[in-house]
Amino acid sequence: MPTGRTTIAGVALRMPYWVFTGGLAAIFLFPLAWTAVSSVSPHAGTNQVGGWGFGNYVTLAGYQAGIWRYLANSALVSLLTVTLTLLISLLGGYAFARFKFPGKNLLFLATLAILMVPYATLLIPLYVLLSRVGLANSLVGVALVLTMFQLPFATFMMRISFEAVPRELDEAAQVDGCSPFNVLRRVLLPSVKPGLITVGLFAFLAAWNDFMAPLILINDSDQMTLPLAVANLRGQVQGVVDYGATEAGVVVLALPCAILFLLLQRHYVRGFMTGALKG
Amino acid sequence: MVTNLAAQAERPAATGRRFRLRRGGAVLGWLYATPTAVFVALLFALPLLLVFKMSASRWPLLAGDKGLNFPDNYVKAVQNRFFVDSVTFTLKYTILATILLIGLGLGLALLVQESSRWRNLLRASFLIPSALGLASASLLFYVLYSPLAGPAAPLMQRLGLSFLGTPNMALGSTLFLIVWRYAGFYMVLMLVGLQGIPAAVYEAARIDGASQWQLFRRVTLPLLRPTLALSTVLCVTGSLLAFEQFYILTKGGPDNSTISVVQLIYTVAFQGQNDLGVAAALSVIGLLALIVINVAQLRAFRSEGS
């Protein structure tokens, strides 16, 4: 049977498939492309009325405390969440994969149980608890909460990453006189690096994009994160929505995510697959 | 290699040390697990206990704990004028979103199953919206659907329609946003499941003369059951807890027709009523309902499988 891929008839036969799948891809890409283009194109009722340019970004930059403030807030929350998540899940994954200790299974199940509880169910008591310990309205508080929500995925991911490393490797290192901490640092850390990248990527995307935790935990407009600021931006100008500035905000929000996705696509897909294998 | 030789010379000592390590393993294990335990205890277990207490106490947003009042909050929660509507709407939305996402996720996965340069490109384009936050995606579609700035605005105006104007249009438009944002995610889950089906099974069925449809119906679907079960549980859970898409895109409208349960919780807690007690009661009801629904789903998938 001829494969037909290179013959003219074969190409003609595959045309409908290409048109159909290409059309589907276009549907998925169109909203992103349209937003990026119209954020710099002229439109009545925005700060970019005549000609092309970055007028909408200027509006965005001057909104309330200024976009730099909100970018800095979002960056702080993301950085803190990623650092804490990496640190805790690295140590926790090592403990769950390589040690036997009483309460191990209970602690692991409790960590996974975080997935089972609705976001809102935890955020309301957390709002009360954080204000009792002086973390009301605090970006650090938001980062702590977001780290907790990352732990089920991160701990699971790091545990299976450690378990995939042959035990002979750390046993050999221990025989050579390495302490367990040095085994982790010198021998295991390089082997679990892909797992760490996946965990870090997911923690960043979650923290950068999270809306509900800052919405509930932050009241002060100076402490808002970027998604919150862009959402509030709508309808601030005498009840008229500045669509141009909103588009610019979406672009600023989406750009880091899209770049990271394109750079780390393999790690991104791997994270999803881990989620799938769990079932 | 010098260290290696030195280690070999000291082997008896090293073995003794290893023995000590193994005995101390429990302590060390706990040491490494402590950060996890602290986070789980303080930021998960403690709030979970507190939410039960709050649900049984009078607890205004600003004044704080005013003592037990069980079961007042639960009565108020159920009697809230949006309670029945929001539950009905959330269930309707969940069923529609789950059917759409599982169906389209599987469809997309079958389209791009075998790897080629074109299909890798397709996969990436289906997947890239899932890197955006749901809030960003909702804001994006808020502009896209706008009757003033959206690309389809002139066409919709001529047709006399509006994306968010009627309850059904608003629901449909939200579902489109959700499919756009999540279809790639479910596609990847399905791809993983499809990869787990051994090629030999397909070959055997093909030799037996099975048609494409029979292959799909009799081989793919049954062997994909674990993946379908997991995806359904994930999708149902996520949809029952929907918030951002309604808070940002439809704002619960038109005519309060698109209020989800989580949105109701947020409104009761922070907008207007400012009653954390009733919000906590609603959260507890939501948590219990979620557990019941998930257990029921897992049972259903298991009994169907046997």
C-alpha distances (whole Å) from A161 to each of A138, A149, A177 are: 33, 20, 24
Q: Are residues B26 and B153 in the same domain?
A: no
CB B83 within 8 A of CB B165: no
Which of B20, B111, B283 is the best mutation test for A, with the most CBs of A within 10 A?
B283
Contact state of B192 with A277 under an 8 Å Cβ cutoff: yes
Examine residue A48 and state whether it is found in any structural domain, yes or no: no
Examine residue A233 and state whether it is found in any structural domain, yes or no: yes
Examine residue A182 and state whether it is found in any structural domain, yes or no: yes
Instruction: Specify the pLDDT at position B158.
Output: 83
Examine residue B265 and state whether it is found in any structural domain, yes or no: no
Instruction: Specify the pLDDT at position B7.
Output: 43
B258: tokens are 């698109």
Instruction: Specify the pLDDT at position A10.
Output: 74
Q: Please say which residue of B258, B274, B292 terminates a domain.
A: B258
pLDDT digits (tens, 9 = 90+) for A46-105: 666 666 777 788 778 777 778 889 999 999 999 999 999 999 999 999 999 999 999 999
DSSP state of B132: S
**Cβ of residue A89 closer than 8 Å to a chain B Cβ:** yes
Examine residue A131 and state whether it is found in any structural domain, yes or no: yes
Examine residue B48 and state whether it is found in any structural domain, yes or no: yes
Angle at A132 between CA A131 and CA A137, to 5 degrees: 15
**Cβ of residue A251 closer than 8 Å to a chain B Cβ:** no
Give the span between the Cα atoms of B197 and B189, in whole angstroms: 13
Instruction: Specify the pLDDT at position A148.
Output: 97
Q: Are residues B152 and B253 in the same domain?
A: yes
B40, B44, B133 ranked by CB distance to A211: nearest:
B133
A202: tokens are 């997911």
pLDDT digits (tens, 9 = 90+) for B212-234: 899 899 999 999 998 899 899 99
B139: tokens are 């804001």
Instruction: Specify the pLDDT at position A13.
Output: 79
Of B243, B136, B151, the C-alpha closest to A246 is: B136
Residues of B with Cβ-Cβ distance to A187 under 8 angstroms: none
Of B284, B90, B60, B65, the C-alpha closest to A122 is: B284
Examine residue B77 and state whether it is found in any structural domain, yes or no: no
Q: Are residues B34 and B90 in the same domain?
A: no
Cα nearest neighbour of B268 on chain A: A124
Q: Spell out, as residue ranges, where chain A has pLDDT lower than 50.
A: 1-4, 278-279
Contact state of A180 with B30 under an 8 Å Cβ cutoff: no
Q: Which domain CATH number covers B144?
A: 1.10.3720.10
Total count of domains within chain A: 1
Examine residue B222 and state whether it is found in any structural domain, yes or no: yes
The string of DSSP codes covering B29-45 is: HHHHHHHHHHHHIIIII
φ, ψ dihedrals at A43, nearest 5°: -155, 135
**Cβ of residue B275 closer than 8 Å to a chain A Cβ:** no
**Cβ of residue B287 closer than 8 Å to a chain A Cβ:** yes
Task: Give the number of C-alpha atoms closer than 13 A to the C-alpha of residue B232, restricted to the C-beta side.
Answer: 18
Examine residue B43 and state whether it is found in any structural domain, yes or no: yes
Examine residue B60 and state whether it is found in any structural domain, yes or no: no
ipTM of the complex: 0.88
Q: Are residues B182 and B241 in the same domain?
A: yes
Q: Are residues B179 and B46 in the same domain?
A: no
Instruction: Specify the pLDDT at position A2.
Output: 46
Which of B1, B10, B22, B36 is the best mutation test for A, with the most CBs of A within 10 A?
B36
A176, A257, A268 ranked by CB distance to B7: nearest:
A176
Torsion of CA A248, A253, A255, A259, to 10 degrees: 180
Give the span between the Cα atoms of B35 and A28, in whole angstroms: 40
Q: Which residues contact A131 (CB under 8 A, 6 or more apart)?
A: A137
How does residue B196 score in pLDDT terms, banded at 50, 70 and 90? confident
Q: Are residues B104 and B221 in the same domain?
A: yes
Helix, strand or coil, per DSSP, at residue A237: strand
Of B226, B105, B287, B236, the C-alpha closest to A278 is: B226
Examine residue B103 and state whether it is found in any structural domain, yes or no: yes
Find the mean pLDDT for residues B229-243.
92
Give the span between the Cα atoms of B10 and B17, in whole angstroms: 11
Torsion of CA B50, B54, B56, B62, to 10 degrees: 160
Find the mean pLDDT for residues B196-205.
90
Cα nearest neighbour of A210 on chain B: B133
Q: Are residues B25 and B87 in the same domain?
A: no
**Cβ of residue A180 closer than 8 Å to a chain B Cβ:** yes
Examine residue B269 and state whether it is found in any structural domain, yes or no: no
CB B62 within 8 A of CB A174: no
Which of B23, B32, B235, B260 is the best mutation test for A, with the most CBs of A within 10 A?
B32
Examine residue A6 and state whether it is found in any structural domain, yes or no: no
**Cβ of residue B54 closer than 8 Å to a chain A Cβ:** yes
Give the span between the Cα atoms of B65 and B180, in whole angstroms: 43
CB interface of A with B, residues 23-42, below 8 Å: 24-25, 27-29, 31-32, 34-35, 38
Lowest mean pLDDT: which of A36-45, B6-15, B256-265?
B6-15
Range of the domain at B30: 2-55
Contact state of A211 with B134 under an 8 Å Cβ cutoff: yes
Please list the residues that pair with A237 across neighbouring strands.
A240
Give the span between the Cα atoms of B101 and B99, in whole angstroms: 6
Q: Which domain CATH number covers A273?
A: 1.10.3720.10
Examine residue A111 and state whether it is found in any structural domain, yes or no: yes
Q: Are residues B179 and B100 in the same domain?
A: yes
The total of other beta-carbon atoms located within 10 Å of residue B52's CB is: 16
Q: Are residues B251 and B102 in the same domain?
A: yes
The total of other beta-carbon atoms located within 10 Å of residue B278's CB is: 27
A27: tokens are 């549907």
Instruction: Specify the pLDDT at position A181.
Output: 87
Residues of A with Cβ-Cβ distance to B66 under 8 angstroms: none
How does residue B18 score in pLDDT terms, banded at 50, 70 and 90? very low
Residues of B with Cβ-Cβ distance to A116 under 8 angstroms: 290-291, 294
pTM over 0.90: no
Q: Please say which residue of B40, B55, B70 terminates a domain.
A: B55
pLDDT digits (tens, 9 = 90+) for B69-113: 988 999 999 999 999 999 999 999 999 999 999 999 999 999 998
pLDDT digits (tens, 9 = 90+) for B115-145: 888 998 999 999 999 999 999 999 999 999 9
Q: Which residues contact B166 (CB under 8 A, 6 or more apart)?
A: B254
* pLDDT of B304 above 50: yes
Instruction: Specify the pLDDT at position B305.
Output: 62
Give the span between the Cα atoms of B249 and B257, in whole angstroms: 13
How does residue B244 score in pLDDT terms, banded at 50, 70 and 90? very high
- Comparing B158 with B238, the larger pLDDT belongs to B238
**Cβ of residue A177 closer than 8 Å to a chain B Cβ:** yes
Cα nearest neighbour of B145 on chain A: A31
Of B212, B221, B145, the C-alpha closest to B177 is: B145
Instruction: Specify the pLDDT at position A74.
Output: 96
Instruction: Specify the pLDDT at position B22.
Output: 52
CB interface of B with A, residues 233-262, below 8 Å: 233-234, 240-241, 243-244, 248, 262
Q: Are residues B201 and B139 in the same domain?
A: yes
Of B274, B264, B273, B268, the C-alpha closest to B241 is: B264
CB A118 within 8 A of CB B241: yes
Of A207, A204, A195, the C-alpha closest to A89 is: A195
Instruction: Specify the pLDDT at position A211.
Output: 95
Give the span between the Cα atoms of B156 and B166, in whole angstroms: 13
A88, A104, A216 ranked by CB distance to B270: nearest:
A216
- Comparing A108 with B13, the larger pLDDT belongs to A108
Total count of domains within chain B: 2
Contact state of B18 with A175 under an 8 Å Cβ cutoff: yes
Find the mean pLDDT for residues B157-181.
91
10 Å CB burial of residue A254 (0-12, 13-18, 19+) is: buried
Contact state of B226 with A279 under an 8 Å Cβ cutoff: yes
Of B234, B243, B258, the C-alpha closest to B105 is: B234
Give the span between the Cα atoms of B227 and A248, in whole angstroms: 38
Give the span between the Cα atoms of B110 and B89, in whole angstroms: 31
Examine residue A64 and state whether it is found in any structural domain, yes or no: yes
Q: Are residues B204 and B104 in the same domain?
A: yes
Q: What are the start-end ranges of the H helices in B41-82?
A: 46-55, 72-79
**Cβ of residue B131 closer than 8 Å to a chain A Cβ:** yes
Residues of B with Cβ-Cβ distance to A110 under 8 angstroms: 40, 44-45
Mean pLDDT over all residues of chain B? Answer: 88
A148, A174, A275 ranked by CB distance to B43: nearest:
A148
B3: tokens are 């260290």
Q: Are residues B101 and B216 in the same domain?
A: yes
How does residue B17 score in pLDDT terms, banded at 50, 70 and 90? very low
Range of the domain at A223: 56-277
Instruction: Specify the pLDDT at position A237.
Output: 52
CB interface of B with A, residues 66-105, below 8 Å: none
Examine residue A135 and state whether it is found in any structural domain, yes or no: yes
CB A207 within 8 A of CB A143: yes
Contact state of A151 with B39 under an 8 Å Cβ cutoff: yes
Lowest mean pLDDT: which of A6-15, B182-191, B250-259, B274-283?
A6-15
Helix, strand or coil, per DSSP, at residue B65: coil
Contact state of A177 with B142 under an 8 Å Cβ cutoff: no
Q: Please say which residue of B55, B72, B98 terminates a domain.
A: B55
**Cβ of residue A95 closer than 8 Å to a chain B Cβ:** yes
